Amino acid sequence: MRKKILEVKNLEISFQTYAGEVHAVRGVNFDLYEGETLAIVGESGSGKSVSTQAVMGLLGKKNTHIKGGEILYQGQDLLKLNEDDMQKVRGKEIATIFQDPMTSLNPTMTVGRQIAESIIQHQVVSWGEALEQAEEMLGMVGVKNTKSRMNHYPHQFSGGMRQRVMIAIALACKPKILIADEPTTALDVTIQAQILELMNELKTKINTSIIFITHDLGVVANMADRVAVMYAGKLVEWGTVDELFYNPQHPYTWGLLASMPTLENLEHGLYTIPGSPPNLLHPPVGDAFAPRNAYALEIDFKKEPEVFPVSKTHFAATWLLHAEAPKVTPPAEIQRRREMFDKKLMRREQV
């Protein structure tokens, strides 16, 4: 069994707004193992970014309230660290890449300095050595002519190249965890593939674990070892990529997968999940997904579902898994996926 490097337990975060308290994250639990890539998927506003920004301690102090829970990094609760100690974690132990490479770099500082800055912050090196390491990093992320590129400003780089620079900054101190918050959303598809490939390559080279936040399930399949699905501030289902993609249990995961374009579902058009996510100013009782769920049971509107284990690695929070729940037939797309999953299992047993 691999070592757990990060454990998030019962994390609850809310924002104070003029309208009232928004319960953005409502009790999130997940673990991250050494060297793995965990994808967190979910639609906008489901709390994926907020949860991970809490891990980095990047949430603003004024109107954010971390109401409860623990974020254990190598056994140490990051929520209990003071600002000085947290600065030593940020960038060194846990680093992050953001969504928008066009605005995430300082426009008036050379790229080389922006990378070297994080090295000199966390390591006992001279400025010259830091610049040397920075140049090496720049080469590692696939930037050519590093010598002259070091002295260039961000506006002289294309979007994809800037995201490479962001990766160089994030990995400059060889962090144990890299949080990638939709790192390819702002890039076009070919560049996206290059960046993902680069991340996979560096992950093994530097031996870092990745938390990959995305709403692109296609990306998840290529990147992740495990997937967690988030909805309305909670994880509704998590498991290995195979389990999630081929044996999903939560109707929300069904919806997500059914609305993913595949070669098979091209003919009858894409599925969409009806309705819109709940307003987290007033979180619903019961299962937050129930009003949009064609398979909702009566109990879904009254009581929040427990987390049921499907396998040792696969869990889902839906009453459908309760022993007394009626058997439902999932959408055709999901049945097709399950058949493939069963075949895979059988093949594995034969081997």
Partner 1 sequence: MKKYLVKRFLVGMIVLLLITFLSFLIINFSPGDPATLYVSSDATEAQLEQTRENLGLNKPLLIRYGHWLKNFIQGDLGISFATRQPVSNMLLERVGPTFLLMGTSLIVAYLIAIPLGVYSAVKQKSWVDYLITGTSFLGVSIPNFFLGLIFIYVFAVQLEWFPTGGMHDLGSEGGFLERVHHLILPVLVIATTISANMIRYVRSSMIEIFGENYLRTAKAKGLKPQNIIFRHGVRNALIPIITIVGTDIPKLIGGAIVTEQIFQWPGLGALTISSIQARDYNVLMAITLLSAIAVLFANMLTDVFYAAADPRIRLNEN
Positions in the binding site for partner 1 (CB under 8 A): 56, 58, 87-92, 95-96, 98, 100, 103-109, 117-118, 121-122, 153, 155, 166, 169-170
Give dist(CA 153, CA 10) in Å, integer: 42
Give dist(CA 332, CA 99) in Å, integer: 34
Instruction: Closer to partner 1 by CB, 56 or 213: give it.
Output: 56
Handedness of CA 35, 254, 308, 78 (dihedral sign): positive
State in angstroms the smallest separation of the CB of 144 from partner 1.
17
Cβ atoms of 314 and 239 closer than 8 Å: yes
Instruction: Closer to partner 1 by CB, 87 or 185: give it.
Output: 87
Instruction: Closer to partner 1 by CB, 21 or 117: give it.
Output: 117
Instruction: Closer to partner 1 by CB, 153 or 301: give it.
Output: 153
State in angstroms the smallest separation of the CB of 100 from partner 1.
6
State in angstroms the smallest separation of the CB of 13 from partner 1.
17
Instruction: Closer to partner 1 by CB, 178 or 229: give it.
Output: 178
Q: What single-letter DSSP state applies at residue 90?
A: B
Give dist(CA 171, CA 163) in Å, integer: 12
State in angstroms the smallest separation of the CB of 7 from partner 1.
21
Q: Which residues contact 66 (CB under 8 A, 6 or more apart)?
A: 11, 12, 13, 54, 59, 79
Q: How many CA atoms lie within 13 A of 245 on its CB side?
A: 19
Instruction: Closer to partner 1 by CB, 187 or 334: give it.
Output: 187
State in angstroms the smallest separation of the CB of 148 from partner 1.
11
Q: Angle at Cα 217 formed by Cα 212 and Cα 223, nearest 5°?
A: 45
State in angstroms the smallest separation of the CB of 76 from partner 1.
16
